[in-house]
Chain A
């Protein structure tokens, strides 16, 4: 079945440093979504990418979708303590029979030291 791998599992940074998490799918994706889960909270949608090679920015966050639509990345510039949490990617399998079903990566836990 489809697998979505995310690295690194953990990342500790000093406030102000940059952070990147990478997501790789075993199958081609029709789209990929990113979610953030604060400690003790539930996942909250950040963004979705649909087109091959797409790049989207949200303030200090930059999201990329690979040309082959099998990988994606999230980059945070100049981290702040409010960025703390777990970042998940979630992909929908292209050509899958269960439309709308997302496979989540294991997440990257980001810790920001002030």
Chain B
């Protein structure tokens, strides 16, 4: 079956511009996560959606970052006024439901380069 998909796969943007990243989770997965991975580094948690509960935004690094999710489907991560330190791979993952333990299925990521 289809896995987690993300678009675009690569994004190059100029400093100061806004970007929007998209994630399509596996159908039926109620939990959705966003992570940031800088080159050669680990996964940095950004935000977590679980069903209709209020999202856990504790990992968002600044108010330039925001994310939305429509029901249990698509999610978008928006970065406003991008900075060079935002350059990283942004990974989305989904799982069956939040109350674990349930494995997370990762998408291929969006590689963001801010010039």
| A, B in one complex | yes
Interface residues of A (CB under 8 A from B): 6, 30-31, 33, 35, 41-45, 48, 50, 88, 90, 92, 98-107, 109
Interface residues of B (CB under 8 A from A): 31, 33, 35, 40-43, 45, 48, 50, 56, 58, 91, 93, 95, 97-109
Q: How many residue pairs between the two chains, A and B, have CB atoms under 8 Å in the bound complex?
A: 69
Q: Indicate whether A100 sits within 8 Å of B106 (C-beta atoms), given known contacts A43-B43, A106-B41, A107-B42.
A: no
A residues less than 8 Å from B33 (CB atoms): 101-102
B residues less than 8 Å from A106 (CB atoms): 41-42
A residues less than 8 Å from B104 (CB atoms): 33, 35, 43, 45, 90, 102
B22 nearest CB across to chain A (Å):
16
Q: Is the interface of B mostly helix, strand, loop or mixed?
A: loop
A residues less than 8 Å from B91 (CB atoms): 42-43
In the assembled complex, the Cα of A6 lies from the Cα of B91 at a distance in Å of: 20
Interface contacts beyond A42-B106, A45-B104: sample of 20 additional A-B pairs, CB < 8 Å, sorted by A: A6-B42, A30-B101, A31-B100, A42-B107, A43-B43, A43-B91, A48-B103, A88-B42, A90-B43, A92-B100, A98-B56, A98-B58, A100-B50, A100-B95, A101-B98, A102-B45, A102-B104, A106-B41, A106-B42, A109-B40
Question: Can you list 23 residue pairs at the A/B interface with Cβ under 8 Å?
Answer: A6-B42, A30-B100, A33-B101, A41-B108, A42-B108, A43-B91, A44-B106, A45-B103, A45-B105, A88-B42, A88-B43, A90-B43, A90-B104, A98-B48, A98-B56, A98-B58, A98-B98, A100-B98, A100-B99, A102-B104, A104-B35, A104-B43, A107-B41
